[in-house]
Amino acid sequence: MAGTMHFQIEGLRANVENKEILKGFDLTIKNGEVHAIMGPNGTGKSTLASVLMGHPKYEVTAGAISLDGEDLLEMSVDERARAGLFLGMQYPSEIPGVTNSDFLRSAINARREEGNEISLMKFIRQLEAKMKELEMNPQFAHRYLNEGFSGGEKKRNEILQMLLLEPRLTILDEIDSGLDIDALRIVADGVNSMRGEDRSFLIITHYQRLLNYIKPDFVHVMMQGRIVRSGGPELAERLENEGYEWLKEELGIVDEVGQEA
């Protein structure tokens, strides 16, 4: 599904349980770009990821999201996935009774035309190769999806899905939280191996350390439900060194209390 991708979020406002979390969020992502969103807890970063994928808990009250001119808000979750969106989750669900390999093969076939399903042999070859890349135990293919996986194993499994599905726009929601430095490097290598002119990334993170491994083209700071500052990788480095207080002072932002992330 190569081609020029244009992903645009304009004036997005969204509520959860009647509380407004996103308050006029704007962002444009073009083909091949890597954007990072940073910000203190409770500014709406994970809400943004959920809204983009169509989580029913979140109500969009204003604004627009488009992918190549198509209205994303009119699409169901599965239609968004088929259009090329993928969300690597901070807290992946455990699904007893469904093996990892069955889930992954079904996910690949759901994005293919009927009659063009991936053959079992080709799937197994791809799965084994990608699991080796991510230094995953081959036994994980036959275990129930995420059941009994450690936090780091679940995150690698999310990247495994990404590598097999080859989405056009990957949203990574704090994929680095809870990872030790070796797992972080492996996850980052997986992302970097996917970078190219026809794929884009939106990386939501608290920490500069992930951005040491995945160099973003653009860094955005999110506060009070919208982007308040954008720059290059040097912006992330300044936040790592100095925190967010200098920016809050510049913008006259009072600390947010009781906001949901």
Q: In which band, very low, low, confident or very high, does the pLDDT at 180 lie, cut at 50, 70 and 90? A: confident
- In the structure, what pLDDT confidence band is assigned to residue 59 with cuts at 50, 70 and 90? very high
What type of residue is 213? Y
Question: By percentage, how much of the chain surpasses pLDDT 70?
Answer: 95
User: Distance between CA 224 and CA 104 in Å, rounded?
Assistant: 37
d(CA 99, CA 102): 5
User: What average pLDDT score do residues 122-149 get?
Assistant: 93
pLDDT at 261: 39
- Report pLDDT for 260: 40
pLDDT of the residue at 115: 86
The model's pTM: 0.90
Gap between the Cα atoms of 138 and 210, Å rounded: 26
Contacts of 183 (CB under 8 A, 6+ apart): 152, 155, 156
Range in 67-81, 173-187, 244-258 the model is least confident about? 244-258
Please determine, for residue 3, whether its predicted confidence score (pLDDT) is greater than 60: no
- Per-residue confidence band for 259, with pLDDT thresholds at 50, 70 and 90: very low
Closest CA to 110 of 194, 167, 195: 167
pLDDT surpasses 60 at 169: yes
**Contact between residue 173 and residue 204 where contact means Cβ atoms under 8 Å apart:** yes
Q: Output the pLDDT for position 4.
A: 63
Mean per-residue pLDDT for 43-68? Answer: 93
pLDDT at 92: 86
**What distance in Å separates the CA atoms of residue 70 and residue 227, rounded to the nearest whole number?**
23
Q: What is residue 75's DSSP assignment? A: S
Residue 5 — pLDDT band, cuts 50, 70, 90?
Answer: low
Please give the average per-residue pLDDT across 147-166, as a whole number. 91
Say whether pLDDT at 2 is over 50.
no
Residue 144 has pLDDT above 70, yes or no: yes
Average pLDDT over residues 106-114: 87
pLDDT at position 215 = 93
Average pLDDT (24-47) is 93
More confident site: 261 or 234: 234
Confidence grade of residue 110 (pLDDT, cut at 50, 70, 90)? confident
Mean pLDDT over residues 5-29, rounded? Answer: 93
